[in-house]
Structure 1
């Protein structure tokens, strides 16, 4: 990432290099060693300077703050990693393997020396005189504690009040009023009846209603010999990943996503145009207004208009060449709204628009390419003089020609493949209840939640080969996800079938995910492992 290379690459290319090269160089070391803070800052600075094209003795505008660049794309950033946080996430992976990977020889070695063969969250603590590797792992202990929770199997190992299991925080932090006297010793199993149902009378009034509802949707296998185990709560499948650990460490999960960012990175335009739109929607282009604020320009006004501040919106919409172009391509009934929208609304509406331009190109792509070409014409005027820039009519003709060429080249591979493909033959199939074979029964189940998670319910009914109703079941699950509700429906339905004395049963559910979860083998760390075990 030398400065001379940065000069020869576009902003989009520099972003790609920074993501792929700078982020991967120290990975091997970061898995086992805590890199000094100064080194991490130096790595980040090299990436920053390269992205913005800084040279040894000349700094350029850093248009977007580093904290913004390091956000995920769905949250308005470009996905550059912060070295220190990435280092801690990778060390946490080593700590996770110490806790869970029982077949590794290195794990046995290091635990025998520092952990006394214990493998719980409290074992990862700094020990005086320990190796640098162990000290590095201990630095990630707080991150592991933040993300780990207990997956309930028989409930005999997890402390009900002081261990994180239903949430990523202990329930004692949510207690209404005083803590019970035996809170330190109470296990999850102490709150479950022999049939697996919860003793909610012990919880009502002590915990918020929504937490009690979430508890009642948790499965406990009271007759199982499998002990509770730790799982990684930020991941849907309970398995640790460096990506989810990094997201937890940087609070990415707490920040909402905005659909417009996803739309920007999905635009059917070259990457450099996507990067341009990403900068433009934030107002982070080097306009005269920005350059004047940073004391790099004598006037904030537009070079062409002379009396209007040169903002992003002025260059791309209101300046004479831009206005001339848009008046000829925006339908007359929509022009008032188009020219009166605020900066952010203007970009949002045009990027998410589902209409087609007068040239036959989808509007978001046409809008993005046009905006980029308008900006290029403005930079030509700034650096080479107004005489070098195209006139309004010539610019309009040039934009239409170039956008059509771009659209043809963009869709050429798709058109070629479509010519090679055989037309898809569509067959209409009537959907209805299909009776089971004679001697079998059919169990139809369904589960649903109002929100994901949200208040949930489940139900099922059993019929024979003649379609006669044999029994049914309904259940209020409390608070659950849609997938969990579907699994509970199957579990309750199978329990009903068993109690009715039937052994030849066919199960039908409208949830493909639930059926896949049942058919596939899953690690004991999966959040639904206990319920899946009960179903099987």
Structure 2
């Protein structure tokens, strides 16, 4: 229903939209949703969701109220500040906070907390020559309405970040297996008993009642025999999910193999052994046998990590494009509430480190963060008088937006204008796409910057290489 409302209010014009508007919206007066056709009443059912999850995209600032509109992405400024406003200040517009292309917050009666001030200063200031401000739902993706994000907006609990599974370097089948463990959805006896497939929830190895994912992988006496032979010491009281996450992030090693590499194979081999006991009536394998199987698979995985699979099925070594000066940039984005890390490195023709740079800022989504990383790379090039270079980013969408090959740019208009202006001043700089593998150093600098967010909107320069992995 919210999507219907978006189509009527903001989607590209079409005949159905014009018919509904001509009937229910006249001279800016909107018919009550309780009246009218079934379609109009259904639009009303989703309208509150649309209103509660909208955010202003700042351009000239003439339509945005400083205190009562959501233009920072974290709610209205009034909801973040306690205390009375001066007379008439409630009607203050954002365009009054910009002068000469810079922010000027002297119109505000409050001394804003540093966290809010940093968020404001991370945005391009309003400019009177810009287009009108635009209100867009937070669940827009590439100019289209995302039903998945609209669904997430209605959930009573916040979305759980599972990057520790999906962005891990383990095999795809193991990522899916760990997702099932996190959901407690592997077909253990407790789940099968709930579905009336087996008569009880007894563990087939130790005969304990109530076998679940935690029991299969960690708590069963046969599983503990594996972990007692070399698992790193874990903090007490960890839940099963926290225990999985702790081991996947461990820096320890086991018999010459990183523990984070072998751990997924150990969990999977334990599950395979338990399945053989249940379905094939085999005896549980000895801990040494399970460990040896996992070690073999982990070592094969480690040896096979120097090549990338290209289209067509051929394996070729990773190579960099040879250019006189290369600027690699990347961003590290987690959520709109948390700081964003921007990072980059400049390399010479031989591929050697010339200088690194990073900056901590804020952004409403990952695409905007990637655009600001490109903008930071162009700023560094201009400051260091680099007029001929190739700037590499792993974000195809932002490169296309800068080249005018992607039509939807409403959410990023101000940053795009600043970025294009910088690029125009550097006609000898090309912007190209590169793989994430080639961009690992810039990505590492961005992640380190985001994790150590002590100074916001300040560019740091690193003349010598850093140890970031």
Structures share fold, TM-score greater than 0.5: yes
| Aligned-pair CA distance for 1:215 | 2.4
CA deviation string 1:38-80 (max 9, x = no partner) = xxxxxxxxxxxxxxxxxxxxxxxxxxxxxxxxxxxxxxxxxxx
Aligned to 1:231: 136
Offset, 1:127: 3.6
Q: How many aligned residue pairs are there?
A: 380
Q: Summarize the Cα distance change of 1:364–1:402 in structure 2 as closer, same or farther, 3 Å threshold.
A: closer
Residue 101 (1) aligns with residue 19 (2) = no
Provide the rounded CA distance (Å) in 1 between the counterparts of 2:66 and 2:179. 50
Which of 135, 139, 149 matches 2:41? 135
Matches within 5 A, 1:195-210: 195-203=100-108, 205-210=110-115
* CA positional deviation for 1:105: 1.6
Cα separation, partners in 2 of 1:404 and 1:485, compared to 1, 3 Å: closer
SS in 2 for 1:226: coil
Work out whether residues 456 and 477 of structure 1, in 8 Å CA contact, stay in contact via their aligned partners in 2: yes
1:10-89 matches, within 5 Å, as: none
Structure with the higher strand share, 1 or 2? 2
Aligned 8 A contact 2:341 2:360 in 1: yes
Q: CA deviation at 1:131?
A: 0.7
* TM-score relative to the length of structure 2: 0.59
Q: Secondary structure at the match of 2:102?
A: coil
Counterpart position of 1:533: 417
Which aligned pairs between 1:365-380 and structure 2 lie closer than 5 A?
A: 366-380=265-279
Q: Distance in 1 between matches of 2:254 and 2:180?
A: 21
Q: Contact between 1:92 and 1:144, CA under 8 Å: does it hold in 2?
A: yes
Larger radius of gyration: 1
- Cross-structure match for 1:67: none
Equivalent positions of 1:385-404 (< 5 A) are 389-392=281-284
**Shift, 1:114, TM fit:** 1.0
Aligned-pair distance for 1:170?
2.5
**Contact 1:150/1:163 (8 A) holds in 2:** yes
Question: Is the helix fraction higher in 1 or 2?
Answer: 1
Structure 1 residue runs without a partner (length 5+): 1-90, 381-387, 409-413, 434-443, 459-475, 498-504
How far apart are 1:169 and its partner, in Å?
Answer: 2.6
Cα displacement (A) at 1:261: 4.1
* Structure 2 residue runs without a partner (length 5+): 301-306, 344-358, 364-368, 422-469
The separation in 1 between residues aligned to 2:409 and 2:205, in whole angstroms, is 64
User: Is this contact kept in 2: 1:156–1:228, CA < 8 A?
Assistant: yes
Alignment of 1:153-302 (within 5 A): 153-193=59-99, 195-203=100-108, 205-220=110-125, 222-224=127-129, 226-235=131-140, 240-250=145-155, 254-262=158-166, 267-269=171-173, 277-278=181-182, 285-287=188-190, 297=200
Give the 3-state SS of the residue equivalent to 2:135 in structure 1: strand
CA distance in 2, matches of 1:485, 1:416: 27
Contact 1:154 1:226 in 2 (8 A): yes
Alpha-carbon distance between aligned partners in 2 of 1:404 and 1:457, rounded to the nearest angstrom: 38
Query: Do residues 487 (structure 1) and 394 (structure 2) align?
Result: no
Q: Deviations over 1:167-218 (max 9, x none)?
A: 353323234421232235332222222x232221123625433323322333
SS state of the match for residue 527, structure 1?
helix
**Aligned position for 2:33:** 126
Q: Contact between 1:176 and 1:207, CA under 8 Å: does it hold in 2?
A: no
Name the CA distance, whole Å, in 1 between partners of 2:45 and 2:191: 47
Could you say what secondary structure the match of 2:273 adopts?
helix
